Amino acid sequence: MLAIAEDGMDRTRAVFIVFVVTILMAILFFICVAGAKFLPGVRHYLPDSPVFLLTIVPAALCLALNQIWQTWAAAEGLYGKLNVMRLVQASTLVLVQIGAGLKYPTATSLVIGFVVATGIAFAWSVKTMPRFIRGEFCSPVEFRKFFSRYKNFPLYALPADAINTAAGQLPILVVSYRFGNEVAGYLALTMRVLGAPIGLVGKAVLDVFKRYAIQSIQKTGNCRSLYVNTFMALVLASLVLIGGTIFLAEDIFRVAFGPEWLPAGRMAIWLLPMFALRMIASPLSYMAYLVERQHIDLLWQAALMVVTVATLYAFPSYESTLIGYSAGYAAMYFVYILISYRLSKG
């Protein structure tokens, strides 16, 4: 919603309201998590360490606050500041967590290190971006106007994101259940290795695309020209990914991780259609939010979940399962590209 807010005071007001709501939601979740420890039917499913339990919500809060400031910087077109924010967050997270892990090698220390690192990164982000708190922002009228204007975002985006997260985790769980932990381990490494560069490219393209797309929509009523140019650039990047994966995947996995991980390299080739289309579709899928047709994204996510479950259970071997899963996912991405192109017309 920050991307479609008007530049200047309107977006600053939106940032403040999102910030306040995020804090209030974190307080509510913290109370629920802390209170759940005293419920006989629930406490058996919670972590034994009270420190670990009580740092879960602060960890999520710090991550969310960093995301708000980074989204704000991207929406304002301050890409230099955005890159510095992300660099500080990534480097601080690595240094603090490694230090905490070496000194106290426990899950609790890693969570505390995550909170400390993301807290430091958020403090840097606040220092980087200008002050924004103004007295009139606290008016209940402003909050009512804001939620009336953007009510469809939490209404549709929250369930859509929940479905997307579940669909993303499902392959590892199903493959582990059907074919064993070894195959699931190969799959997890493959998805991590292929997903990392695609995520970086997609995030960088999206940061620029959504700002200029919303400006074009506000001025002309559509962003077709920008969409086509972005699409062509992503297609070229996808072709590079395809060529590199087909010819180098097995060698890369063997050299980087050892010969025992060679099956992960073969899986990378099987999953290539899905990741190639993901590189193109992911940044462009934000069109549903830019033109405020969030219900389309929710329907697509629901259909994607159906396709994911069907392909993961429809085939007898793990080879055919992964190939079918990749083909089904790629087909869904192709559909979303067509949808987003139509939405780019305004």
Lowest mean pLDDT of 6-20, 220-234, 267-281, name the range.
Answer: 6-20
pLDDT tens digits, 29-84: 888 777 766 666 665 656 666 666 677 888 889 989 999 899 888 888 888 888 89
In whole angstroms, what is the distance from residue 309 CA to residue 167 CA? 8
Does 93 have pLDDT greater than 90?
Answer: no
Does the predicted TM-score (pTM) go above 0.75? yes
User: What confidence score (pLDDT) does residue 241 get?
Assistant: 84
pLDDT tens digits, 137-167: 667 777 888 878 888 888 888 888 889 888 8
Please tell me which residue, 306 or 290, carries the higher pLDDT value: 306
Give CA angle at 121 (117, 123), nearest 5°.
Answer: 115
User: What confidence score (pLDDT) does residue 47 get?
Assistant: 61
Residue 306's pLDDT band (cuts 50, 70, 90) = very high
Does 96 have pLDDT greater than 90?
Answer: no
User: What confidence score (pLDDT) does residue 39 get?
Assistant: 65
pLDDT tens digits, 183-231: 888 888 888 888 878 888 888 888 888 888 888 888 888 889 999 999 9
Average pLDDT, the chain: 84
Determine the length of the chain: 346
User: What confidence score (pLDDT) does residue 232 get?
Assistant: 93
Q: Quote the percentage of the chain above a pLDDT of 90.
A: 21
What does the pLDDT average to over 2-10?
Answer: 76
